[in-house]
């Protein structure tokens, strides 16, 4: 939980200077009461969460401390006791990976060196300066110590179009990311070491019964650990979909009585489904309609955006140009030290990409899913073929450079190892700045168990529905947001629509978003109106106009992210961090 940084430099004066810049940024972001770390030519600090929980450390002195940032569960424990056990157990090689759960970065001070690693799926963000001298869980903190920030066109387009940037690159050329396939060793210098977490050995499917047994065993292992660490101090969503109900079923099976919430207005299908379950089971349910939150005045909006920028570390998937409701609800979820659970990643049990059961090239996969862009919104800096090929290269790298076309097993692994790592991982990291947070459905063990599921069983949510029914028959009897109970097939119209998407060739799906986008009406209402945005930004977009024709972006989500990037680079240029 919280945040951390490490600065490695032989020159004591320069080390002190860089550490001061990084600490200054983290202090601006709201992190207080640092616990200091020293090791040879490395200095750093770890901070507690924004909601006031203390830093997680083991060891009594600056030069002997190990620490953890994020949510780490080890051997059924969390906090300082788990960290101490992890420290004691670390051998000269790697940690005991199968006993680790959560979304975290651990730094173990042992064997006269620091060993830094994240969770195996890589859902906790760690950023590195170009020379590796500055490492932090905060992008803004590394940026504060970076003398030059060169806008990285590929990642800028990925962020605006897709909501995340992928691979080890960021929107700034001088800053990169560490992921779950690497660990860092710091002795006299900084060394990044590849670590490969095998999740699939072959392409042979396993029968449905064995697949369910394997998936349930992996899931129950995670939720038993949550029970032992947090008891009832858990907050989770309940909606009309599959994933939140799977999480709730697993919690109930462990005897955990969590706080429940649902987002949306009274007329939303998610809210209706959640209310039906809550009424039938006698559960308390917090219905949160973010649209009813008080909007700031135009005069106050700059302060709201500034606070969003700092709380969300500059680049949240939804952007920072909103009323402050997102920030407020996240703090509410962590109240009382509760573990914030998110059902994201449950799509490992479904056909997430809606592709038929056959091999596809990486480029076809990119056409089928990473297609949420309209070339007409970009300037001549955008080269569509280059953009798509770089995305494909990043996917191939994460998969370990398999042969083309990709097997159907490899395509299924793109979701957890690429989409979840870089898109969902960003949200995990934001939540862990505020309090304890996990996405418990996605671990190396659950991914390994889900990979052999036959695609036919994943279609229309059939396999995940069976998982829920096996765990909690009563929950499976309640309707979903499509109207059917989980122990019933989805409506015929829904199944036909899903089949139609699966059968649509990737080269046609490539054009889906741009066709929709060109039919949209530009919506610059509310906090995205010029009246509000103009209080915060130069509406000529001096930084992002090199990449976008801003007046041609119709999508509110993409415009929000565009404004977010403009704000980021404007703050860097003015020294605002």
Answer whether residue 372 is part of any domain: no
Q: Please answer whether residues 106 and 113 qualify as being in contact, where contact means their C-beta atoms are separated by less than 8 angstroms.
A: no
Q: Cα Rg for the chain, rounded, in angstroms?
A: 23
Pairwise CA distance, residues 295 & 421, whole Å? 33
> What is the model's pLDDT at position 61?
87
CA dist list (Å): 404 to 192, 359, 361, 395: 28, 9, 6, 12
Q: Locate tokens 């066109």: which residue?
A: 153
Cβ atoms of 485 and 266 within 8 Å: the answer is no
**CATH, residue 173:** 3.60.20.10
The answer to whether residues 546 and 465 belong to one domain is no
540-567 b/e (C-beta count within 10 Å ≥ 16 → b)? ebebbeebbebeebbbbebbbbbbbbbb
The angle subtended at Cα 22 by Cα 16 and Cα 25, nearest 5°, is 140
- Residue 523 domain flag: yes
Query: Which CATH number characterizes residue 310's domain?
Result: 3.40.50.620
Q: Report if residue 63 sits inside a domain.
A: yes
pLDDT value, residue 376: 97
Question: 409 is written with which tokens?
Answer: 């097993």
Has residue 125 been placed in a domain? yes
Give CA separation, 523 vs 96, 377, 512, 577, in Å.
51, 15, 20, 29
Is residue 321 within 8 A of residue 305, CB to CB? The reply is: yes
User: In this structure, are 228 and 340 located in the same domain?
Assistant: yes
Is residue 376 included in any domain, yes or no? Answer: no
**Looking at 462, 479, 501, which one is the last position of a domain?**
501
Q: Do residue 237 and residue 117 come from a single domain?
A: no
Q: Round to whole Å and give the CA distance between 177 and 394.
A: 13
User: Element (H or E) spanning 340, and its range?
Assistant: strand 339-341
19 torsion bin: left (phi>0), alpha (psi -120 to 50), beta (else): alpha
Residue 201: predicted pLDDT: 55
Indicate whether 92 and 161 sit together in one domain: yes
**Is 181 contained in some domain?**
yes
Do 478 and 543 fall within a single domain? no
Residues 223, 185 share a domain: no
Non-local (6+) Cβ contacts of 498 within 8 A are 354, 459, 460, 490
Domain boundary among 160, 194, 228: 194
Q: Which of 139, 125, 170, 151 is nearest to 29 (CA)?
A: 139
Q: Is residue 19 located within the same domain as residue 132? A: yes
**Alpha-carbon dihedral of residues 530, 532, 536, 540, nearest 10 degrees?**
0
Angle at 246 between CA 220 and CA 421, to 5 degrees: 80
Q: Do 138 and 474 contact (CB within 8 A), yes or no?
A: no
Domain that residue 486 falls in: 208-356+408-501
Contact 241, 352 (CB under 8 A): no
Query: Are 449 and 541 contained in the same domain?
Result: no
Q: Are residues 132 and 162 in the same domain?
A: yes
Q: How far apart are CA 467 and CA 470, in angstroms?
A: 5
- Which pLDDT belongs to residue 199? 74
Q: How far apart are CA 456 and CA 440, in angstroms?
A: 25
pLDDT at 181: 87
Domains contained in the chain, number: 3
Domain finish residue from 163, 194, 225: 194
Q: How do beta strands 339-341 and 437-438 pair?
A: parallel
Q: Does residue 392 form part of some domain?
A: no
Chunk the chain into consecutive blocks of 10 residues (it has 577) and report each block's average pLDDT, rounded to whole numbers.
95 97 98 95 97 93 92 95 94 83 95 93 95 97 96 98 96 94 90 80 75 96 97 97 97 98 94 96 96 92 98 97 96 96 96 96 96 97 97 95 93 95 95 97 94 94 96 96 89 93 94 94 95 97 98 97 98 69
Instruction: Please report whether residue 175 resides in a domain.
Output: yes
CB count within 10 Å of CB 468 equals 23
Instruction: Please tell me whether residues 448 and 545 are part of one structural domain.
Output: no
CA 536 vs. chain centroid, Å, equals 27
Please list, in sequence order, all residues whose beta carbon lies within 8 angstroms of the beta carbon of residue 385, skipping any fewer than 6 positions away: none
Q: For the chain, give the longest Cα–Cα distance.
A: 69
Same domain, 93 and 184: yes
Structure confidence at residue 60 (pLDDT): 83
223 and 164 in a common domain? no
**C-alpha span between 314 and 364 (Å, rounded):** 32
**Among candidate residues 553, 114, 481, the one with its CA nearest the CA of residue 319:** 553
CA gap 352, 514 in Å, rounded: 21
């Amino acid at each position: 939980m919280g945040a951390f940084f490490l600065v490695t430099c032989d020159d004591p004066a320069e080390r002190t200077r860089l550490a001061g810049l990084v600490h200054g940024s983290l202090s601006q972001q709201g992190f207080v009461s640092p616990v200091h770390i020293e090791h040879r030519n490395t200095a750093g600090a770890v901070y507690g969460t924004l909601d006031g929980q203390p830093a997680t450390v083991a060891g009594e002195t600056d030069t002997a401390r190990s620490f953890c940032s994020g949510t780490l569960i080890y051997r059924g424990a969390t906090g300082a006791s788990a960290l101490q056990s992890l420290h004691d157990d670390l051998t000269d090689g790697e940690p005991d990976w199968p006993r680790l759960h959560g979304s975290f970065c651990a730094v173990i001070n042992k064997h006269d060196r620091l060993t830094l690693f994240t969770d195996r799926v890589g859902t906790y963000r760690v950023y590195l300066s170009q020379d590796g001298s500055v490492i932090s869980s905060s992008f803004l903190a590394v940026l504060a110590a970076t003398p030059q920030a060169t806008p990285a066109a590929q990642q800028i387009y990925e962020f605006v179009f897709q909501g995340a940037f992928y691979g080890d690159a960021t929107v700034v050329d001088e800053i990169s990311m560490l992921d779950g396939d690497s660990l860092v060793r710091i002795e006299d210098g900084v060394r990044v070491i590849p670590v490969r977490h095998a999740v699939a050995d072959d392409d042979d499917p396993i029968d449905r019964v064995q697949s369910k047994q394997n998936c349930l065993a992996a899931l129950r292992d995670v939720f038993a650990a949550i029970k032992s660490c947090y008891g009832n101090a858990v907050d989770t969503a309940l909606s009309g979909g599959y994933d939140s109900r799977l999480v709730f079923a697993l919690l109930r099976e462990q005897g955990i009585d969590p706080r429940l919430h649902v987002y949306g207005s009274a007329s939303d299908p998610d809210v209706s489904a959640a209310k039906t379950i809550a009424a039938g089971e006698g559960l308390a349910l917090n219905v949160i309609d973010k649209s009813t939150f008080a909007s700031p005045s135009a005069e106050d909006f700059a302060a709201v955006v500034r606070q969003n920028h700092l709380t969300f570390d500059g680049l949240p998937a939804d952007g920072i140009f909103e009323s402050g409701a997102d920030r407020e609800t996240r703090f509410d979820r962590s109240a009382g030290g509760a573990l914030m659970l998110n059902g994201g990643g449950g799509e490992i049990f479904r056909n997430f990409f809606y592709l038929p059961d056959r091999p596809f090239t990486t480029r076809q996969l990119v056409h089928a899913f990473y297609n949420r862009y309209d070339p007409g919104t970009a300037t001549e800096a955008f080269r569509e073929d280059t953009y798509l090929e770089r995305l494909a290269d990043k996917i191939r790298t994460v998969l370990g450079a398999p042969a083309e076309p990709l097997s159907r097993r490899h395509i299924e692994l793109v979701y957890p190892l690429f989409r979840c790592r870089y898109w969902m991982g960003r949200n995990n990291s934001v939540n862990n700045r505020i309090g304890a947070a996990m996405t418990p459905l996605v671990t190396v063990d659950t991914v390994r168990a889900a990979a052999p599921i036959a695609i036919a069983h994943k279609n229309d949510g059939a396999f995940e529905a069976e998982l829920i029914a096996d765990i909690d028959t009563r929950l499976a009897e309640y309707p979903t947001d499509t109207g059917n109970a989980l122990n019933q097939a989805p409506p015929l119209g829904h199944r036909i629509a899903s089949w139609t998407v699966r059968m649509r060739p990737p080269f046609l799906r490539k054009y889906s978003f741009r066709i929709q986008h060109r039919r949209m009406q530009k919506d610059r209402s509310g906090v995205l109106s010029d009246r509000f945005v103009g209080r915060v930004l130069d509406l000529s977009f001096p930084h992002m106009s090199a990449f976008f024709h801003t007046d041609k972006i119709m999508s509110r989500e993409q415009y929000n992210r565009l404004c977010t990037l403009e704000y980021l680079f404007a703050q860097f240029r003015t020294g605002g961090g």
